[in-house]
């Protein structure tokens, strides 16, 4: 699949690609505070889509990434609906059991019912590049680029499905970004205009989950996979070779809230 260059680095070398965390939306209040404190009055004569797009571009510039012009409306939509007055639906699950040590939850075992997700798989050179490209495409689907021609609403977590080698030390180039359809759209999911996005019904699954904070990148993901293997006290647990990174908070949060999920084999 030709995934174009929307999220590729512009200019010279180096890493620093924008991540999924960086693309989670900021509220208008947070935007105003950041613009005042970090950019002084650069945006005071701009309004709406332009103001938000320029702010995102400033953030992305630090990662050597260009945010394309057609992201203006999705950014505006998600920011407006992420201002603290709208509830973001959580993916429902049933807690089966968990393990604690010294008051810290080491892991949880959960049951998720079968459900519909909008998914896109990309094959960029790095994990950061893939989630950048995939999430921007999913944002457009959420924001009117769907057969319902309406804003579908944000749900959490936004997840990425990753694959590793047998030793769990290297990530595959194939990264799937997935968005849980809100309850009102589960029975009849709006179809995406983007032909690279598919609506998939995920079967019921048993998940082993461990929380972690901070940025998500290839190094932190490999580290968290290793940590969950270490704390699981059931050596007979059979897990798939695919793992899920679940993101709950945006970059305005002091400590970004994430989870690593292991999927139990039937």
pLDDT in tens, 96-132: 999 999 999 999 999 999 999 999 999 887 787 788 7
Cα of first residue to Cα of last residue in the chain, in angstroms, is 31
182 part of a folded domain: yes
Residue range of the domain that includes 216: 89-264
Say yes or no: 70 and 98 in one domain. no
φ, ψ at 161 (rounded to 5°): -95, 125
9 part of a folded domain: no
168 part of a folded domain: yes
Instruction: Return d(Cα 46, Cα 35) in angstroms, integer.
Output: 11
Instruction: Return d(Cα 61, Cα 46) in angstroms, integer.
Output: 19
Say yes or no: 246 and 130 in one domain. yes
- Chain segment 121-178, per-residue pLDDT in tens: 998 877 877 887 788 899 999 998 999 999 999 899 999 999 988 888 888 889 999 9
Q: Which CATH number covers residue 220? A: 3.20.80.10
Say yes or no: 141 and 181 in one domain. yes
Which tokens hold the place of 149? 């021609």
Quote the DSSP letter at residue 189.
P
pTM above 0.75, yes or no: yes
Say yes or no: 57 and 110 in one domain. no
Say yes or no: 215 and 249 in one domain. yes
Instruction: Return d(Cα 27, Cα 57) in angstroms, integer.
Output: 16
Strand (E) or helix (H) holding 139: helix 127-142
């Amino acid at each position: 699949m030709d995934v174009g260059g929307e999220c590729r680095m512009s200019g010279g070398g180096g890493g620093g690609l924008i991540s999924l965390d960086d693309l989670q939306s900021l509220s208008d209040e947070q935007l105003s505070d950041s613009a005042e404190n970090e950019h002084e009055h650069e945006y005071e004569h701009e309004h709406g889509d332009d103001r938000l797009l320029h702010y995102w571009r400033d953030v992305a510039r630090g990662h050597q990434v260009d945010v394309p012009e057609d992201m203006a409306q999705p950014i505006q939509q998600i920011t407006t609906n992420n201002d603290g007055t709208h509830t973001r639906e959580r993916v429902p699950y049933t807690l089966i059991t968990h393990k604690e040590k010294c008051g810290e939850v080491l892991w949880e075992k959960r049951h998720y019912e079968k459900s519909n997700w909008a998914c896109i798989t990309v094959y960029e050179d790095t994990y950061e590049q893939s989630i950048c490209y995939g999430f921007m495409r999913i944002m457009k689907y959420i924001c009117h680029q769907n057969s319902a021609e309406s804003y579908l609403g944000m749900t959490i977590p936004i997840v990425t499905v990753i694959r590793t080698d047998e030793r769990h030390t290297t990530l595959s180039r194939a990264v799937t970004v997935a968005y849980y359809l809100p309850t009102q759209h589960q029975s009849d999911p709006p179809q995406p205009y983007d032909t690279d996005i598919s609506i998939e019904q995920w079967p019921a699954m048993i998940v082993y989950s461990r929380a972690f904070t901070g940025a998500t990148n290839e190094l932190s993901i490999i580290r968290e996979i290793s940590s969950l293997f270490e704390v699981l006290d059931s050596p007979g647990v059979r897990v798939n070779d695919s793992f899920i990174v679940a993101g709950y908070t945006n970059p305005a949060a002091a400590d970004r809230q994430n989870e690593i999920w292991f999927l139990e084999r039937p």
